[in-house]
């Protein structure tokens, strides 16, 4: 009798172990529950990790690392940026755009300035950056994220130089998503200064969203890895190891008076979810809240 009970117990433990392994494999394959790397991920061969944000503490983002933008900021976008729309839970940063209806504190009747001629704030979101706290020159940036694909959403992973005004400081868009003539695209871009003040020269590649969703109808519900490889000669931008754009840095000389190449200077990181504006397009008011999820941001440099 004891031998029978012992065999039964061993059999039960064996089946339980197999079930746990299967459960772990299923989780690893799912978009929401992928098993995440630890706080100190293994660098790719030939690289060392110099900075990472794993979003491993619930609550607000770490203000020793991140700054918030506030109010109406750029591109005639609809959202009012504020801190409350960015939160961390279970290792994921979620930036959430929410429908609002409250007075614009900047409003001035008959003002011609777009930030001041809107009587109301119709939606809020968040934008965070590492300006003055972390920047780097050359290396590999990786960001694992799940992006919203609804009407009006304009999520981004991007970088800017600190020293000069835009666009002389250079801009690298590792990821932008928005609709072009109503058709959703993922963009990988860089820009620098033309001869005209505040006018940029762009190297931009827009890939139709259908390029990804035709292969996987559930693509938008999953996390994906955006990567930038940046050295003295090129910036290359990838999505899940597929090259989206290659920018030859011999062509990126500012035509402004400074005549510099902005991509030979350090840049800082920005994460934001914009709504509407110059590129975001029309908004689906029934689509709120709009959520943009970021799992981690990591920066490596060659050893």
Over residues 161-204, the pLDDT tens digits come to 998 999 999 999 999 999 999 999 999 999 999 999 999 999 99
Dist CA 215 CA 43 (whole Å): 29
Q: Which residues are CB-contacts of 32 (< 8 A; sequence separation ≥ 6)?
A: none
Strand partners, 139: 230
Q: CB neighbours (10 Å) of residue 26?
A: 10
- Assess contact for 208 and 183: CB atoms under 8 A: yes
Judge contact between 59 and 87, C-beta under 8 A.
yes
Is residue 288 a contact partner of residue 281, using CB atoms and an 8 Å limit? no
Please give the domain boundaries of the chain with CATH numbers for all domains. 48-302 (2.60.120.200)
pLDDT at 16: 43
pTM of the model: 0.87
CA 221, CA 179: separation in Å to the nearest integer?
18
Backbone φ and ψ of 89, nearest 5°: -150, 130
DSSP state for residue 57 in the 8-state scheme: S
pLDDT tens profile 53-94: 999 999 999 999 999 999 999 999 999 999 999 999 999 999
Model confidence at 285, pLDDT cuts 50, 70, 90, reads confident
Tokens 């110059």 appear where?
278
Collapsing DSSP to helix, strand or coil, 79 comes out as: strand
């Amino acid at each position: 009798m004891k031998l029978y009970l012992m065999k039964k117990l061993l059999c039960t433990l064996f089946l339980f172990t197999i079930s746990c392994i299967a459960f772990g494999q299923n989780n690893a394959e799912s978009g929401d529950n992928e098993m995440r790397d630890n706080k100190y991920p293994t660098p790719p061969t030939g690289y060392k990790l110099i900075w990472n944000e794993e979003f491993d503490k619930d609550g607000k983002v770490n203000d020793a690392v991140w700054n918030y933008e506030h109010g109406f900021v750029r591109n005639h976008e609809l959202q009012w940026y504020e801190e409350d729309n960015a939160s961390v839970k279970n290792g994921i940063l979620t930036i959430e755009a929410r429908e609002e209806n409250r007075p614009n504190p900047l409003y001035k009747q008959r003002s011609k300035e777009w930030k001041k001629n809107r009587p109301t704030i119709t939606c809020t979101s968040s934008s965070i950056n590492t300006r003055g706290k972390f920047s780097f020159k050359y290396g590999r940036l990786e960001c694992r994220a799940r992006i919203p694909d609804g009407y009006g959403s304009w999520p981004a992973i991007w970088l800017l130089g600190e020293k000069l005004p835009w666009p002389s400081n250079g801009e690298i868009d590792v990821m932008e998503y928005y609709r072009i003539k109503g058709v959703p695209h993922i963009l990988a871009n860089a820009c620098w200064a033309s001869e005209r003040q505040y006018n940029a020269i762009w190297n931009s590649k827009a890939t139709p969203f259908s390029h990804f969703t035709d292969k996987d109808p559930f693509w938008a519900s999953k996390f994906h890895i955006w990567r930038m490889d940046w050295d003295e000669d090129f910036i290359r931008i990838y999505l899940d190891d597929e090259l989206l754009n290659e920018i030859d840095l011999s062509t990126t000389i500012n035509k402004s008076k400074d005549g510099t190449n902005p991509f030979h200077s350090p840049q800082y990181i920005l994460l934001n979810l914009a709504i509407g504006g110059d590129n975001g397009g029309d908004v689906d008011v029934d689509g709120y809240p709009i959520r943009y999820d970021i799992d981690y941001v990591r920066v490596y440099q060659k050893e």
